[in-house]
Amino acid sequence: MTRVLYIGGSGEISFACVEASVRAGQQVTVFNRGIRGEKLPGEVEQVIGDVNDDAAYAELASREFDTVCQFIAFHTDTVSRDIDTFAGRCGQYVFVSSASAYRKPWRSGSITESTPLDNPFWEYSRLKAACEKLLFEAHVAGRLPVTIVRPSHTYRRRIPGTCVPGIHLAWRILNDKPVIVHDDGESMWTLTHAEDFARAFAGLCGNEHVLGEAFHITSDSARSWNEIVDLVGKALAHPPRIVHVPTDRLIEYSGHWLGPIKGDKSNSLVFDNSKVRGATGGWRCEIGLQAGLGFAATIARKQIDDGYAPDERLDALIDRIVADCE
Q: Give residue limits of the domains in the chain.
A: 3-154+191-217, 158-190+223-269+288-325
Going by pLDDT thresholds of 50, 70 and 90, the confidence category of residue 74 is very high
Q: Residue 96 pLDDT > 80, yes or no?
A: yes
| DSSP string covering 225-253 | HHHHHHHHHHHTTS---EEEE-HHHHHHH
Average pLDDT of the residues in 194-211:
97
Angle, CA of 86, 89 and 93, to the nearest 5°: 55
Residue 318: per-residue pLDDT = 97
**Which stretch of 38-47, 111-120, 122-131, 211-220 has the lowest confidence by average pLDDT?**
38-47
pTM for the complete prediction? 0.96
Average pLDDT of the residues in 181-200:
97
CATH level 3 topology of 158-190+223-269+288-325: UDP-galactose 4-epimerase; domain 1 (3.90.25)
Residue 59: per-residue pLDDT = 87
Average pLDDT of the residues in 285-310:
96
Residue 48: per-residue pLDDT = 87
Average pLDDT of the residues in 161-171:
96
B/e letters for 183-195, b = 16+ CB within 10 Å, e = fewer, are: bebebebbbbbbb
Chain-wide mean pLDDT for the chain?
95
Average pLDDT of the residues in 153-163:
95
Going by pLDDT thresholds of 50, 70 and 90, the confidence category of residue 300 is very high
User: What digits encode the pLDDT tens for the residues 13-22?
Assistant: 999 999 999 9
Going by pLDDT thresholds of 50, 70 and 90, the confidence category of residue 8 is confident
Q: What are residue 96's phi and psi, to 5 degrees?
A: -90, 110
Determine contact, residues 100/263, Cβ cutoff 8 Å.
Answer: yes
CA nearest 186: which of 226, 148, 155, 234? Answer: 226
Q: Residue 326 pLDDT > 80, yes or no?
A: no
**Which stretch of 49-58, 81-90, 255-264 has the lowest confidence by average pLDDT?**
49-58
**Which stretch of 48-57, 59-68, 74-83, 284-293 has the lowest confidence by average pLDDT?**
48-57
* Bigger pLDDT: 107 vs 263: 263
Contacts of 260 (CB under 8 A, 6+ apart): 122, 163
User: What digits encode the pLDDT tens for the residues 230-264?
Assistant: 999 999 999 999 999 999 999 999 999 999 999 99
Q: Yes or no: is domain 3-154+191-217 CATH 3.40.50.720? A: yes
Give, rounded to a whole angstrom, the gap between the first and last alpha carbons of the chain.
59
